[in-house]
Structure 1
Amino acid sequence: MTQNQTQHIPVVIVGGGQAGLSTAYCLKKLGIESIVFERNGKFHSWRESRWDSFCLVTPNWQCRLPDFHYDREYGGTDPDGFMLRDEIIAYVDAFAEMAKPDLRENVDVTRVAPRQGGGFNVETTIGKWTCDQVVIATGGYDTPIEPPYAANLDPGVFQMHSVDYRNVDQFPEGGVLVVGTGQSGVQLMEDFVRAGRDVHLAVGPAPRSPRKYRGRDATDWLSDAGHYGITIAQHPDPVKAMTQTNHYMSGRDGGKEIDLRRFHIDHGVELYGSLADMDGTAVKFLPDLTKNLDDADRSYLGIRTQIDAYIAQQGINAPEEPPFQKVWQPTEERTEIDLAEAGITSVLWAIGFRPDYSWIEADVFDARGKPVFDRGVTAHKGLSFIGLGWLNTWGSGRFLGIEEDSRHLAAQIAAQLEVPVKQMCDA
């Protein structure tokens, strides 16, 4: 096909990560042709957007790509372990080799627009396509978030977003202020602690989770209790589920809890409340450190209570745990510091990302720019999303839920394309 020709294909999938390739695989099993466009290389976020010491936070057994479970088809031998970055890449690459999608790498999709009479026009950097269905599998990590006042920081202070972080050696000598306490922020904080650096941490409202509790990983208990099977439609507080930051813990060293109070006591990490403003070398924080630490502990204890209730209900003989105790409590709320006086030469932003859907010309977004759908299927016929958090369950957007979500979406697409029922059953 030349640059000026238009080719038709039943389904275009935008995004060559695990969600996009899983959907392509499930469609292939139903006999439906698709093409996957990836602006970089396949699994780019695993290869290029993860730091050197990265490892999974959830156990390997939760890696369940369709027909390619870690401890089944892939033949992984450490289901309760936590794969390192290169091991994750080997796993997803092996899935791609098995799935054999029609994948076009280093192709940017610049426009998706509905066609009169149905279907879509898709414009890319290698030409134009028409299709009946479009699946958006780009995830929610397009644009790194940095607050506007980051531009007011003294230019002599080094700044980096977590998307560009690989290791501590990228940073100049001196102390570092890590902003954000989601899963990335606390793990990058530990990287600097291990390197013997002077670490300061702006603590946000992220919740935390136990790791091992009453003899097992907390995620094992939660799985057995049916927690991961709860759908967003069944959730008692769906708004909270959709907006809450992920619980922080770590898969490092075989898996462990992250207690910021203990990092302060044991490693001298200086803790502050949420970052509020910057001007030159002056940095201001909200007086919410105590609240944020207490809220994180409240979440931690809530998960323990949930596990306790399941153990009691099932009559399981499990070892008891000592009561939780706070090892440290702030005596004051420091709301302002001078970076130069504190010896801080760097700021590491770990406050997340926002998606960019500006290239999609369809009325499927709410006032905040988030897509509106039912299990990924939007009100605009033929336009779907996959790989986003709580598409259906907690596992959506993670390895755990991709198989279920991609199979469901493929079936929905097949129904819209009116694929014969026998063909669907035989696939």
Structure 2
Amino acid sequence: MTENMTNIDTLIVGAGQAGIAMSEHLTRLEVPHLVLEKNRIAEAWRSVRWDSLVANGPAWHDRFPGMTFPGADADSFVPKDKVADYFVSYAEKFNAPIRTGVEVLSVVRNEGAGGFTVTTSDGIIQAQRVVSSTGPFQIPVIPAAAPQDPELLQIHSAHYRNPERLPEGGVLVIGAGSSGVQIADELQRSGKKVYLSVGPHDRPPRSYRDRDFVWWLGVLGLWDAAANEPGKEHVTIAVSGAHGGQTIDFRQLAQQGLNLVGRTESFDNGVACFRNDLADNIKAGDANYLSLLDRADAYVSRHGLDLPEEPQAREFLADPECMTQPTLELDLKQAGITAIIWATGYATDYSWLQVDAFDDKGQPKHHRGVSSEPGVYFLGLPWLSRRGSTFIWGVWHDAKYIADQIVIQRQYQYYRHS
């Protein structure tokens, strides 16, 4: 660390979309700050995603307000490396004070002196405030129920790259959110025999009546929902920008050749056991899908919009055999399964943030990112302030709020009685 970097007003940990958004707002408000990133800018987009991934939202929507995606059609879905390049260019636009290759090892409060002592891989920093912008995708989670079989390749979706890197044979993909569905579809299209374990999910239309679903969520006010619905905390969203953007249709995937099963419950001597809930999960996803169409139709009628009707959007294929006669057990060897991909989400790791800002489950205690520990802030988490918080544009608006709170605290901190 150079001499003038050892003391800083605000330290931002992480230079992904959250850290860059935070830096932009602090720069605009003239708050001295520094961003530390242990890897490269937007590293997760480059190395914790599969090769063919594209953004799940169209280019006109999934971006920061101050810059469009260079050379991208507004309605296209931008490839992952282009998304990472976008963040690098965006940071350069306002000369963000980012230091890459520096890992934050610990943050502890200075008792009786104010601020925090931050130990990094490149020295000690004193900071008045710390913003955790490390995001929710930190530790890939593979459940303890995973089979103990050395002959079976098991990887998390974070480590999947392409079909060619998997061994010959079939694949069981566990988890049918956006990642699991897209990976299973890619594997099946490559010629592999694929089983996809489907749990509860929301299934929005990719587009309806000539508008992308992100537009519908906007005009219907659903991006601004302030809290997740009770009982849906662990319900994933099945949506994809692959192949130019298509609505995820599990019946269509079954017709295409994917073998659908219910939620994975256990493994016993090489046999996978699934819950008898596939049909229920798909039909609940249908209900979620149809409810958005209903709300969209009502909005069109109420506002007298000239948008084309789309009655075919409500037509479903017949239930496939996997729904009417579900597979509840699968002998992996007999089925030719040589690999399991766990699309089962992530856990957070805040072991470096050694402050009183967490509940008894280790989750951050905060209101709209303002922590219960004065001077500590969280950014980039799901439902930080609303439904849109996890998305690129949503992070930008959350960062604006937190930056304003930091300025307010600075005004109090530096007040001098005349």
Equivalent position to 2:187, from 182, 187, 192: 192
Structure 2 letter corresponding to 1:99: F
Q: Residues 131 and 420 of structure 1: is their aligned pair in 2 closer, same or farther, counting only changes over 3 Å?
A: closer
**Deviation for aligned residue 1:31:** 1.2
Identity of aligned residues (%): 37
1:375 is matched with 368
1:135 is matched with 131
Equivalent position to 1:91, from 78, 86, 95: 86
Equivalent position to 1:245, from 235, 254, 259: 235
Q: Secondary structure at the match of 1:341?
A: coil
Rounded to whole Å, the distance in 1 between the matches of 2:400 and 2:65 is 8
**Deviation for aligned residue 1:154:** 1.9
Rounded to whole Å, the distance in 2 between the matches of 1:361 and 1:57 is 34
CA contact (8 A) 2:240 2:246 kept: yes
Rounded to whole Å, the distance in 2 between the matches of 1:115 and 1:6 is 18
**Deviation for aligned residue 1:164:** 0.9
Q: 2:377 aligned with 1:384, yes or no?
A: yes
2:115 is matched with 119
Residue-by-residue CA offset, 1:25-73 (whole Å, 9 max, x unaligned): 21111111111111211111011111111001111112332533x2xxx
Residue-by-residue CA offset, 1:252-287 (whole Å, 9 max, x unaligned): 22211111111111x221111111112342111111
1:276 is matched with 265
**Deviation for aligned residue 1:246:** 3.8
1:145 is matched with 141
CA contact (8 A) 1:386 1:397 kept: no
Structure 1 letter corresponding to 2:267: M
CA contact (8 A) 1:176 1:198 kept: yes
Q: Secondary structure at the match of 2:196?
A: strand
> What is the number of residues matched between the two proteins?
409
Rounded to whole Å, the distance in 1 between the matches of 2:393 and 2:277 is 34
Q: 2:73 aligned with 1:78, yes or no?
A: yes
Residue-by-residue CA offset, 1:215-247 (whole Å, 9 max, x unaligned): 22222222223322x241xx5x55456x24342
1:222-237 to 2 correspondences below 5 Å: 222-228=217-223, 230-232=224-226, 235=227
Structure 1 letter corresponding to 2:316: Q
2:319 is matched with 328
Q: Secondary structure at the match of 2:201?
A: coil
CA contact (8 A) 1:174 1:344 kept: yes
- Give me the TM-score of the superposition, normalised by structure 1: 0.91
Rounded to whole Å, the distance in 1 between the matches of 2:207 and 2:399 is 31
Q: Secondary structure at the match of 1:395?
A: helix
CA contact (8 A) 1:154 1:279 kept: no
Structure 1 letter corresponding to 2:315: F
Equivalent position to 2:331, from 316, 329, 338: 338
Give unmatched runs, 5+ long, in structure 2.
none
1:33 is matched with 32
Give unmatched runs, 5+ long, in structure 1.
422-427
Rounded to whole Å, the distance in 1 between the matches of 2:64 and 2:22 is 10
| CA RMSD of superposed structures (Å) | 2.1
CA contact (8 A) 2:77 2:241 kept: yes
Q: Secondary structure at the match of 2:389?
A: coil
Q: Secondary structure at the match of 2:137?
A: coil
